[in-house]
Amino acid sequence: MVIGIVVGIGIFFKAEAILKASSLNPTVAILAWILGGTITILAGLTAAELASAIPETGGLVAYIRRIYGDFAGFMTGWMHVVLYLPGLVAVLAYYTGFFATIFLGIENNPINIAMISIPAFISVFVINLFMAKSGGRLQTLVTAIKIVPLAGLLIFGLLNGTNATPFSVAEGVSAPFSIGLVLAALVPVMFAYDGWMLACTIGGEVKNPTKNLPRAIIFGLGLIIILYIGLNIALLKTLPANLLAEQGTVGAANLLFGPIATKAIFGGIVISAYGTLNGLALAAIRFPYTLAIEGHFPMKKYFSEVNVKFNTPLKSGFLIMVISGLYLLAPFMTGMSIDIFADIPVAIIWAFYSVLFIGLIILRKREPNLVRPYKVPLYPIIPVLAAIGGIGIAISATVNRPYYMLYSIIIILMGIPFYKKK
C-alpha cells in the first residue's frame, strides 16, 4: 500500500533537476535521495502514532487542530487549498502535457505543452465534478500502469547501461561535496516522496499496529528508497551526469530502447501522469467542502453545498480548479519554471509537518493517558529528528528560492482575516 501511494511520476522528471541542484555531482544526488527517504521514514513513524491516537478524517489538518487549536487547524487547511493542492495539480497537468509531446514525437515547447496540459487539466475536473463514477474507474485503471515504465528504465538501465563511471563528476565541472549541495537537492527529492502522509496514517486499519505498522512503514518506504536510487544509477549508467541533466529520462530511454520503444515507455508515463492528476483532482475538489462542513473554511454555507444533480461539491471543486488553473498558466505566461509549484508547496508543507512532529511531544505530555494503539519507537529521538529534517527542507527552499517562499508565506497569511472562531 505504501509503495502504491508514494511512487508516482516525480521520479521521471525530478532526476535531472536533482542533478542540476547537485552541481552535476552524482554522489551528492544519490545522498540526497537517501537523506530524503530517511527523513520520510522518520516522519512516517512519527505521524503514524498521531493517526492511531486521533482517529479522525482530515489527516494533517485534524492532527494540528487537535494539538494546537482551531486557528492552527484553519491555517493548515487554508494552506492546502491556496497553495499545496493547487500547486501539485498544476505540476501534474503540466507534466502530463510535457510527456505527451514526447510520446507524440512533437517538440516539447511551451505552446505544444500548453495545448495538451490545459485540456488534460480541464478534463479531470469535468470528469470528477460531473461524472464522478467515471473518475473512480479511471483511477483504478491506471494505478498499476505507472510501474511498467519505471521497471523498464530500471532493469534495462542497470543491465545495458554503457557508462562505466556513473558516479564521476562531468568533465570540466567543479562540484566538490558539500552539505549545502545535498540540502539544495533535497527539496526536489521530497516531491518524489510526497504522499507518505496518506500511506503512513493507516494505523486504525492495521492489525497489531505496535508491531506491524513500523514494519510496513520501514519496509515500504525503504523499498521506495532502493527503487529510486536504483533508477538513478540506471540512468547514470546510461548517460553521464552532464548529459542526463540536459536530456533527462528522454535521452536515457532513447539510448536504451530506441525511438519506437521509447514512445511506448512514455505512453505509459503519460497514462500514469494523467491518472495521478485525476486522483489528486478527485481529492482536491473535496478539500474546501470538507473544511466547510466542519465549519473551518470561509463562506462555509456556500462551499459546503453539494450539487443535487451530480452529487458533487461543485463550488468547492471550482475554487480548486481556478487556483490550480492560475498556477498552471503562470509558466506559460511568465516563463517561470513549473518546478517552483512542485518545490515550494512541498517545502512549505514540511514546515507544517515539523510543527506536527513537535506537537506529538506536546500531546504526550498534555494527554499521557490518551489511548495510543501504536507509539513511535525511540521516543523522543525519532520525532525530534523528523522535525529537524522538515525544518532543514524548509530552510533549504528559503535559501535557494527566497522570493517564492516569501510570496507563498504571504499567500498563506492572507487567510488570517478569514478565520472566525466557532
**What pLDDT digit, counting tens, does each position of 94-141 carry?**
999 999 998 998 988 999 999 999 999 999 999 888 876 655 555 556
| Domain boundary assignment for the chain | 2-417
- Which residue type does 157 have? G
172: CB partners within 8 A, 6+ apart: none
> What is d(CA 112, CA 254) in angstroms, rounded to the nearest whole number?
21
Distances (CA, A) of 420 to 74, 304, 416: 9, 16, 9
Of 142, 159, 158, 154, nearest in space to 267 by CA: 142
Q: Which residue has 511506448 as its cell numbers?
A: 264
Q: In this structure, is the dihedral angle defined by the CA atoms of residues 155, 160, 161 and 167, taken in order, positive or negative?
A: positive
132: CB partners within 8 A, 6+ apart: 310, 311, 312
Q: What is the DSSP letter of 167?
A: T
Q: Which residue has the higher pLDDT, 283 or 2?
A: 283
Q: Which residue has 509558466 as its cell numbers?
A: 331
Contact criterion met (CB below 8 Å) for 90 and 338: yes
pTM for this prediction: 0.88
Q: Which residue has 505521524 as its cell numbers?
A: 47
Given pLDDT bands bounded at 50, 70 and 90, which one contains residue 218? confident
392: CB partners within 8 A, 6+ apart: 39, 183, 186
Q: Is the pLDDT of residue 168 over 70?
A: no
Percent of the chain with pLDDT over 90: 40
Class of 2-417 in CATH: mainly alpha
Give me 417's grid cell.
482575516
> What is d(CA 305, CA 303) in angstroms, rounded to the nearest whole number?
5
Under the phi-then-psi rule, with left for phi > 0, alpha for psi from -120 to 50, and beta for the rest, what region is 23? left
Q: Helix or strand or coil: residue 241?
A: helix
pLDDT at residue number 161: 65
> What is d(CA 28, CA 49) in angstroms, rounded to the nearest whole number?
32
pLDDT at residue number 210: 63
Q: Which of 9-13, 95-99, 361-365 has the lowest mean pLDDT?
A: 9-13
- Which residue type does 302 have? Y
Q: Which residue has the higher pLDDT, 337 or 5?
A: 337
> What is d(CA 400, CA 331) in angstroms, rounded to the nearest whole number?
19
Contact criterion met (CB below 8 Å) for 273 and 96: yes
Peptide bond preceding 380 in cis form (omega within 30 of 0): yes
E-strand spans in 193-333? Answer: none
360: CB partners within 8 A, 6+ apart: 46, 49, 50, 67, 376, 383
Q: What is the DSSP letter of 170?
A: P
**What pLDDT digit, counting tens, does each position of 25-44 carry?**
888 889 999 999 999 999 99
pLDDT at residue number 197: 78
> What is d(CA 276, CA 295) in angstroms, rounded to the nearest whole number?
29
Q: What is the DSSP letter of 117?
A: H
> Which 3-state string (H, E, C) describes 276-301?
HHHHHHHHHCCHHHHHHHCCCCCCHH
Average pLDDT value for the chain: 84
